[in-house]
């Protein structure tokens, strides 16, 4: 679906010409091994590069320029996948043909270059005032996770489940690691990112592909670097027995946030991972799934009760918002649904529904430029010629017996509850 051009060793440009959108979207992704320190430094760097640059020395002048370019969007973010940290610069501008002006696209190209290659340096260093301000912003972002109870419960659950591991490391780093970032180190972070990272560049929109390739080669003079696969995360092998951790933590709140994690040796790239995607769908991925039908509809215990499959880490999560006093009942009910899968208690209807919705979700995701970029960026690790049809064919082949077998590899590892009251549920 994308046309691939290696513009330098380790630096790859993916373009996609389409008249589906009224905008042109750019993403420049810098990938390296994930550690808390790297994540913290790069999150601060992401904010600093989004703030200003050599040409637009203040946030105010940069933002005014973006306004003039018909609200061209420019932002950076940091994410993680498996053992990799990903720093992304995103730019999106309206296609000239919908505007009274022309030349917006060209200026957007220039901006991509300026943000990456012409940072706002003072005496050869990033401005300490800006660095300190953005350290504060990233710190506040990390701290505010406490206020979003579901997201906080998930974070705490992972902290207990896999301490000191990429699984529980945030793409923003930690408060302490962000505080430790020094202005003079940040230049080192920046330099190594540009010189050593694996770089993937995406452009999607109504573009002339040859022109874009030529232009970006010229505008983005990245040096060659060792070409390699992304860092692989190895999922744990199946364990003979797992001791289930039971953790309860308190905040002043009304609902109980129940978060469970199950491990499976089947991770992204494992020959069976598409079977596991179907298994997750039957278990709790959708509104026809066992968790929704039983925990919500039959028992009226929850507004939300669902599962998700983190293929990158070989983990399956279940979350439900419940009355904390009913924790034991909810956990038993969730385990019952998994047991049903392990016993092969699966209908043809459940299989058909799950496959139909998986197909719908992958096809739908391709209806946005961002979706095309993000999904391709993940799946190209498995196959550079990846298309949605490959996944659909894979899911179609999955049988009830496969789901039963997949379910048998799933083992409960942790039951975590964040709630406002101490319960005796887990005595």
* Count of residues that bind other proteins according to CB under 8 A: 70
Closer to other proteins at the Cβ: 262 or 286?
286
DSSP character string of 135-152: HHHHHHHHHGGGGSHHHH
On the 0-12 / 13-18 / 19+ scale of CB atoms within 10 A, 328 is: middle
Site for other proteins in 311-330 (CB under 8 A): 321-323
Pair type for strands 84-94 and 23-33: antiparallel
Closer to other proteins at the Cβ: 218 or 325?
325
Query: Considering the rule CB under 8 A, would residue 387 count as an interface residue with other proteins?
Result: no
**Which candidate, 115, 130, 95, places its Cα nearest to that of 19?**
95
Binding-site member from 106, 144, 179, 426 for other proteins (CB under 8 A): 144
Closer to other proteins at the Cβ: 52 or 230?
52
**Which candidate, 310, 219, 235, 232, places its Cα nearest to that of 13?**
219
| DSSP symbol at 165 | S
Closer to other proteins at the Cβ: 9 or 347?
347
**Which candidate, 76, 79, 67, 72, places its Cα nearest to that of 24?**
72
C-alpha atoms less than 13 angstroms from C-alpha of 110 in its C-beta half-sphere: 12
By the 8 A CB rule, do 117 and 88 touch? Answer: no
* Nearest-approach distance from CB 254 to other proteins, in angstroms: 5
Binding-site member from 6, 54, 208, 367 for other proteins (CB under 8 A): 367
**Per-residue tokens: 193:** 């990112």
Site for other proteins in 65-124 (CB under 8 A): 66-73, 92-94, 98-99
Binding-site member from 354, 372, 409, 411 for other proteins (CB under 8 A): 354
**Which candidate, 27, 33, 23, places its Cα nearest to that of 13?**
27
**Per-residue tokens: 138:** 């990233």
Query: Considering the rule CB under 8 A, would residue 40 count as an interface residue with other proteins?
Result: no
Which x/- pattern over 262-301 shows residues binding other proteins (rule: CB under 8 A)? ------------------------xxx---xx--xx-xxx
Binding-site member from 35, 79, 125, 137 for other proteins (CB under 8 A): 137
Closer to other proteins at the Cβ: 242 or 357?
357
Closer to other proteins at the Cβ: 130 or 315?
130
DSSP character string of 220-281: --PPP----PPPPPPPPPPPS--PPEEEEEE-S-SSEEEEEEEE-S--TTSTTHHHHHHHHI
Binding-site member from 225, 366, 394, 405 for other proteins (CB under 8 A): 366
Query: Considering the rule CB under 8 A, would residue 340 count as an interface residue with other proteins?
Result: no
Query: Considering the rule CB under 8 A, would residue 375 count as an interface residue with other proteins?
Result: no
Pair type for strands 11-17 and 23-33: unpaired
Provide the binding-site residues for other proteins, judged by CB under 8 A: 18-23, 59-60, 63-64, 66-73, 92-94, 98-99, 133, 136-137, 140-141, 143-144, 146-149, 251-255, 286-288, 292-293, 296-297, 299-304, 321-323, 349, 352-354, 356-357, 359-361, 363-364, 366-369
């Amino acid at each position: 679906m994308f046309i691939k051009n290696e513009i330098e060793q380790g630096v790859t440009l993916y373009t996609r010409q389409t008249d589906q959108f009224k905008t042109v979207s750019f993403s420049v992704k810098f990938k390296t091994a994930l550690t808390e320190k790297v994540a913290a430094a790069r999150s601060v760097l992401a904010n600093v590069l989004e703030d200003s640059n050599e040409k637009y020395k203040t946030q105010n002048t940069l933002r005014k320029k973006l306004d003039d370019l018909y609200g061209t969007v420019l932002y950076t973010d940091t994410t993680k996948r498996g053992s990799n940290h990903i720093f992304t610069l995103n730019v999106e501008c309206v296609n000239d043909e919908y505007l009274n002006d022309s030349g917006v696209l060209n200026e957007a190209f220039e901006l991509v270059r300026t943000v990456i290659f012409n940072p706002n340096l003072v005496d050869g260093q990033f401005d300490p005032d800006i660095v300190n301000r953005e350290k504060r912003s990233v710190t506040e972002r990390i701290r505010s996770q406490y206020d979003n109870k579901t997201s906080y419960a998930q974070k705490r659950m992972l902290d207990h489940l896999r301490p000191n591991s990429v699984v529980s490391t945030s793409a923003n780093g930690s408060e302490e690691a962000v505080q430790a970032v020094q202005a003079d180190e940040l230049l080192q972070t920046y330099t190594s990112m540009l010189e050593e990272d694996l770089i993937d560049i995406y452009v999607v929109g109504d573009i002339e592909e040859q022109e874009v390739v030529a232009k970006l080669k010229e505008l983005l003079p990245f040096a060659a670097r060792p070409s390699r696969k992304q860092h692989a995360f190895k999922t744990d092998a199946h364990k003979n027995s797992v001791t289930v951790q039971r953790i309860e933590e308190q905040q002043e709140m009304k609902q109980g946030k129940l978060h469970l994690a199950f491990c499976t040796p089947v991770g992204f790239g494992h020959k069976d991972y598409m079977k596991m995607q179907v298994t997750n769908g039957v278990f709790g991925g959708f509104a026809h799934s066992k968790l929704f039908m039983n925990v919500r509809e039959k028992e009226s215990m929850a507004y939300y009760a669902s599962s998700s499959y983190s293929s990158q880490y070989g983990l399956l999560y279940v979350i439900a918002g419940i009355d904390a006093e009913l924790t034991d009942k909810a956990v038993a009910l969730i385990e019952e649904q998994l047991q049903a899968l392990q016993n092969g208690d699966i209908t043809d209807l459940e299989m058909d529904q799950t496959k139909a919705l998986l197909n719908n979700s992958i096809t739908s995701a391709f209806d946005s430029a961002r979706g095309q970029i993000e999904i391709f960026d993940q799946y190209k690790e498995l196959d550079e010629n990846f298309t949605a049809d490959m996944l659909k064919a894979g899911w179609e082949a999955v049988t009830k017996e496969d789901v039963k077998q997949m379910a048998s590899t799933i083992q409960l590892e942790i039951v975590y509850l964040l709630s406002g009251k101490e319960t005796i549920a887990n005595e």
